[in-house]
Chains A and B, each alone.
Chain A
Amino acid sequence: MLKLHNLSKVYRTDEVETVALNNVNIEIEAGEFVAIMGPSGCGKSTLLNVIGMLDSPSSGEYIFRDESVGQYSESRLGDIRKRSIGFIFQSFNLIDELSVEENIELALLYHDIPVKERNARVAAVMDKVGIAHRAKHMPSQLSGGQQQRVAVARAVVGKQSLILADEPTGNLDSAHGQEVMSMLQQLNEEGTTIVMVTHSPSHSDYARRIINLLDGHVLTENLRAVG
């Protein structure tokens, strides 16, 4: 699915140079469920952003589906992104002024999909994540778990094959956290590739592979059997 080769990311400000990623080599196959772990500031989120094409690497190569996308223009990256990649954030990032339904539909609005099909897909995905009865509600009327389910629905409604989740359970209590994790697991079983950043060992257990980062290096890669 994707391959990072000797990839580095350096942030420069006027005075300081921060190396967020240093010579990272990672390969992720289609259908994998990968967890990225590590202490705060080790480069997890940067890695996720680079994979999600929200940020570009300083050096090295990024191959996405056999295409080297490192030098692509922003609009071309945006095009790949909206077709292939879904995002889930720790803070849900729903738009407060839009209802549940409209938040999910937002992901299709930029896809030139006819209204009819849009409505059908939104309805289907709401059923799938069990939020259909809240379709007309505003985000502020939902619990955290429900909001994240809406976010998951939004991430997959465009039939994205890769989901990038940045601490999806970070703002949730354990019960709601479990709920979201099993949903991700289900998606993975249906064939979606999932890359998730997490702090929680219990949630990383859902993944089949764990990448440990420290100070921008890949420290270890553990392949584990899922029980």
Chain B
Amino acid sequence: MFKNYVLTAWRHMASNPLFSFINIFGLAVGLTSCILILLFVRGELSHDKQLVDADRIVRLHSAYISSDNPPFRTVRAAGRMMEALRDYASEQVAAGVRLLQIGPTVIVGDKVFNETFVFADQSFFEVFDLPFAHGSSESSFNNPLDLLVSEEIAVKYFGRTDVVGELLTVCCMDGQQLEVKITGVLENLPATSHLDIDFLVVMQPSMFDFAPNLLNTWTSVNTYTYFKLKQGFSAADFKERVWYWTDHESPFTQMDMVEGNPTEQIQPNVMAVTDLYLNARRDAGNMGDFKALGDLRMVYAFSGVALLILIVASINFMNLSTARASQRAREVALRKVLGASRRQVALQFLGEAVTITFFALLLALVVVEMTLPLYNEAIDRELVFSLASELPLLALLVCVAIGVGLLSGSYPAVYLSRFLPARILKSNQSGDESGSQRIRAALVVFQFAISIGLGICTAVIYSQTLYARSMDVGYDVSNKLVLHGLSSSEVSNKKQVIVDQLIRIPGVESVVLSSEVPSQDNENNTGFRLLDIQDDGAANDDIILNYYNAGYGFFESYKINIVAGRGFDKAYGSDEVIPVAEGSETAGRANIVINESAARQLGFSSSQQAVGKVLRADVFRAGLQHLTIIGVAEDVYFRSLKFGIRASVFFNHPATLREATITYNTTDLPGLLDQIETTWKAIFPLTPISHEFVADMVNAQYQEEEQQAELFAAFSLLAVIIACLGLYGLASFTAEQRTREIGIRKVLGARVEDIVRLLVWQFSRPVLVANLIAWPTAWYLVSGWLESFEYRIGSSEILMQCVIAGTLSLLIAWITVASRAIKVARANPIEALRYE
């Protein structure tokens, strides 16, 4: 019996190549997308699961909330928090560790390499039990400056992994080159680890006494702070303790810039490491994390798309199977006459559907294998797919295939098994009923609604991305090259030297210094108080403002207009911040420029009004200062459109300037770069040059969104292709079924155009109805998505995308159907009418 089933199924497939192709190909494309998305989702969900005791390791994040500013969030914490919380919540905490990233250079012969060193408390291995390739946590990580490297780094510098005892020359600690001995080698961390550690150094807190903002601080957030909790405690338990501490026991309760409960303004968060990759995006807001983070929304969105594509492919199968039922009606009738029960017939068709799905699955596996490298490149991941070693995945895929087979086969099975043999055999009719035609039409509607909806979502994502890119950021990005890392110890003392040399290069228009350049995603926050008495005689409160440092010529170079007062200008004597001696009672004096948002936030009714007013602030590395506002700069999107404009203060504090912006007016870029590099190397032989074009930096901000948009577009396109294949199949079938009618019409004088119009209209209706469903659904979805953007496209733009998607869907449907209909309409009618 089974053999007979297989045989009839096979012959049906072989004798209907078009339908078999559409079925198998459609399902294969659907399954391929599904597997690719599944791999992506699995990869996104697998982050940091490999850590020992991963479920007990948590990280402390910080957030500063104020009523008149966007919140400032970071996944780092202040340096003194770790010890305080570890001791306070000792019943929950087993161990804690702080990580600090430092960027020195490693020198080998005459080559220098920029590297990132992670300095960690000696308790590191109590929290992270990372595997060693050589050495052990007991023997290799005990003394200050004990250095562990990853296998990758060992191979990079020594060509082998067994490098314990080797020396590396590092520049520089306190201006001194150091010889550091490698004490152990760590296995490379997997791509799914949020930690990014090439060099791991035992940190002695006193090493950083020169920079108290790094470790010895409650307010400056620079360390990644982890805890390992004791058995039985969760991140939520610990967070509760942290909040209690913040409100009742912490030094924040004593600080005068904090009013009411500290947690109204300072909101630490505790997150399990296994949640970091997908959930830390919000907390990471400003300064990012060790590595790029994932996005839970994308995981949901792509899972949804995978499901939709599968549904579209399954609908093809259902439609074509029932549409072709007429061809199989006699077979079913005969089987029933010969004694088959309805259940047996239904099982036969279900079996066929599952078999076809398995064919499709095999094809899909091959395609996945072939396209995975391309896909990895497109999504910037390192997904692997090897069925043999992943039985659970294989089992899952088999289940998916059976599920899809059953889903696609269910309706045809129920429908076909219902045929009454007597009627079919006697009347010589197809058994195709108008009811099943209606269901097919409904399925086509559903299919196209999905495709159109995906199309609209894609179009909106694209136009939002384009819109964000086309918005005027307010500053000039053209012809600008940034040199990074002027804070490194070799460079920092000779900043002016390099500036003076660079300006002499032909084609260089200006060289300006700053702590950040526009588009760099960084913020610095501190409290400012307006030294002005309010009407009722009360002193002003501190408000938290962001600050940057900008050297002379910065505003001119970036063409940021000064709307009131003036910018920093040497002609007025010195605008620079001069640090006051430690312990000094008198405040220093300096000039500042603020932006329009800051002027508003400080309560000035106009920019002009702000000029000449004085703010008081504890300035980083300069002590208490009285700051005179000499000018107000126009608001620009200094960071990114994503974050809006933040009220900001600009100091001119030479010690903190670490970026040089070179504005050039030459088209010979290779020549220019060559000269800049030569100049740099002559002055700083120990520090590799690091440069970037501002235009590239701005573009990079949108790279992630663009990548997502492209991926989304690719998968939507697949859904549309599958839906069109189905429509083509259905149109050919209908044309075949209406051959006689078409023949009659032609004999009566209908032209080819009349026939094509007839068929095209038949298939336009479901597509039109699909639009009615797709528009509001897509509208609802994209509106939700757009909410997350500070600046977004309006509803007229969305409507336009709907109209475009709708028109396109109709056009595609017309072309699909017409291509088939023309062929049928051209056929000689007598063929159709000759026989009964």
* Distance to closest chain B CB from A197 (angstroms): 12
Contact status B751-A75, CB under 8 Å? yes
| Residues of chain A within 8 A of B749, CB atoms compared | 78-79, 81-82, 107, 110-111
Indicate if the CB atoms of A93 and B833 lie closer than 8 Å: yes
Determine the main DSSP class of B at the interface with A: helix
Q: Would you call A55 and B744 a contact (CB within 8 A)?
A: no
A94 → chain B closest CB, angstroms: 8
Any B CB within 8 A of the CB of A1: no
Chain A residues lying within 8 Å of B405, measured Cβ to Cβ, are none
Q: For the complex, give the distance between the alpha carbons of A154 and B749 in Å.
A: 12
In the complex, A54→B834 CA distance in Å? 11
Asked if A23 is at the interface of the complex by the 8 Å CB criterion, the answer is no
Asked if A82 meets B748 with Cβ closer than 8 Å, knowing A93-B740, A93-B743, the reply is: yes
Q: Decide if A54 touches B751 in the complex (CB within 8 Å).
A: no
B750 proximal to A (CB < 8 A): yes
A91 engages B748 (CB within 8 Å):
no
- For B747, list chain A residues within 8 Å (CB): 52, 54, 81, 87
Q: Does any Cβ of A come within 8 Å of B89's Cβ?
A: no
Interface pair B743/A78, CB less than 8 Å apart: no
B residues near A62, Cβ cutoff 8 Å = none
Question: Residue A45 at the B interface, CB < 8 A?
Answer: yes
Mask of A176-212 contacts with B, CB within 8 angstroms, 1/0: 0000000000000000000000000000000000000
CB-defined interface of B165-185 with A at 8 Å, one 1/0 digit per residue? 000000000000000000000
| Closest Cβ–Cβ distance, residue B436 to chain A (whole Å) | 15
A 94-130 binary contact with B (CB < 8 Å = 1; else 0): 1101000000001101110000000000000000000
Contact A45 B834, CB 8 Å, known A54-B829, A106-B745: yes
Say how far B774's CB is from chain A's closest CB, in angstroms. 29
The yes or no answer to B754 lying at the interface (CB within 8 A) is yes
Q: Are A54 and B828 in contact (CB under 8 A)?
A: yes
* A89 interface residue (CB < 8 Å to B): yes
- A-chain residues with CB within 8 Å of residue B743 when the two chains form the complex: 93
Residue B91 lies at the interface, judged by CB distance under 8 Å to chain A: no
Interface residue? B536 (CB, 8 A): no
- How far, in whole Å, are A109 and B749 apart by their CA atoms in the complex? 9
**Partner among B740, B748, B833, B834 whose Cβ is within 8 Å of the Cβ of A106:** B748
Q: Is A49 an interface residue (CB 8 A)?
A: yes
Q: Compute how far the CA of A138 lies from the CA of B320 in the bound complex, rounded to whole angstroms.
A: 28
| Cβ-based interface call for B187 (8 A) | no
Interface residues of B in 703-759 (CB under 8 A from A): 740-741, 743-751, 754
B830 contacts A49, C-beta separation under 8 Å: yes
Size bracket, chain B contacts: 10 to 19
B828 lies within 8 A of A78 (CB): no
CB distance from A158 to the nearest CB of B (A): 8
A110/B744 in contact, CB under 8 A: no
Please determine whether A54 and B744 come into contact, CB atoms closer than 8 angstroms: no
A145 to chain B, nearest CB (A): 17
Residue among B746, B749, B834 having the largest count of chain A Cβ atoms under 10 Å:
B749
With a cutoff of 8 Å between Cβ atoms, the chain B residues found around residue A94 in the complex are 744
Chain B, residue nearest A55 (CB): B830
Residues of B within 8 A of A95 (CB): 741, 744-745
A142–B284 Cα distance when bound, in Å, is 77
Q: In the bound complex, do residue A110 and residue B748 qualify as a contact, i.e. CB atoms below 8 Å apart?
A: yes
Closest A residue to B741 by CB, please name it: A95
Residues of A within 8 A of B833 (CB): 89, 91, 93
Q: Which residue in B740, B748, B836 is a CB contact (below 8 Å) of A107?
A: B748
Residues of A within 8 A of B745 (CB): 95, 106, 110
1/0 contact trace for A25-47 toward B, CB 8 Å?
Answer: 00000000000000000000100
In whole Å, how far is B822's beta carbon from the nearest beta carbon of chain A? 14
Query: A91 touching B744 by the CB < 8 A rule?
Result: no
The interface residues of chain A lying within 8 Å CB-to-CB of B829 are 54
**Which residues of chain B are near A75, meaning CB under 8 Å?**
751
Interface residues of A in 156-176 (CB under 8 A from B): none
Docked complex Cα distance between A110 and B743 (Å): 14
- Report the Cα distance A154→B743, complex, angstroms: 15
Shortest beta-carbon distance from B326 to chain A in Å: 13
CA A10 – CA B280 in complex, angstroms? 79
Chain A residues closer than 8 Å to B751, beta-carbon distance: 75, 78, 110
B806-836: CB near A (< 8 Å → 1, else 0) gives: 0000000000000000000000111001101
With known contacts A91-B836, A93-B740, A93-B743, A54–B830 Cβ distance under 8 A: yes
Residues of A within 8 A of B750 (CB): 109-110
Given the complex, which residues of B lie within 8 Å of A79, measured CB to CB? 749
Query: Once bound together, how far apart are the Cα atoms of A174 and B834, in whole Å?
Result: 22
Determine the chain A residues whose CB is within 8 A of the CB of B754 once the complex forms: 110
B830 close to A106 (CB less than 8 A) = no
Return chain A residues, CB-CB under 8 Å to B740. 93
**Chain A residue with minimal CB distance to B835?**
A91
Q: Are A93 and B744 in contact (CB under 8 A)?
A: yes
Contacts of B830 in A (CB 8 A): 49, 54-55
What CA separation (Å) do A49 and B836 show in the bound complex?
Answer: 17
- Complex alpha-carbon distance, A81 and B749, angstroms: 7
Per the bound structure, the CA–CA distance linking A54 and B827 in Å amounts to 11
Bound CA–CA A55/B834 (angstroms): 12
Give Cα A107 to B745, complex, Å.
8
Known: A54-B829, A55-B830, A75-B751. A106 touches B836 (CB 8 A): no
Cα–Cα, bound, A91→B428 (Å): 13
Complex CA distance for A12 and B139, rounded to whole angstroms? 92
Tell me, in angstroms, the Cα distance from A204 to B834 when the chains sit together. 21
CB nearest neighbor in A for B742: A95
Please name all residues of chain B whose beta carbon is closer than 8 Å to the beta carbon of A54 when the two chains form the complex. Answer: 747, 828-830
Contacts A78-B746, A94-B744, A110-B751 aside, 5 further interface pairs with beta carbons under 8 A come to A78-B751, A90-B836, A91-B836, A95-B744, A107-B748
23 CB contacts below 8 A, A to B, read A45-B834, A52-B747, A54-B747, A55-B828, A78-B746, A79-B749, A82-B749, A87-B747, A89-B833, A90-B836, A91-B836, A93-B743, A93-B833, A95-B744, A95-B745, A106-B744, A106-B745, A107-B748, A107-B749, A109-B750, A110-B748, A110-B751, A110-B754
Which residue numbers of B lie inside 8 Å of A, CB to CB?
A: 740-741, 743-751, 754, 828-830, 833-834, 836
Task: Rank and list the top 6 A-B pairs by shortest CB-CB distance, nearest first.
Answer: A82-B749, A110-B749, A91-B836, A54-B830, A107-B748, A95-B741
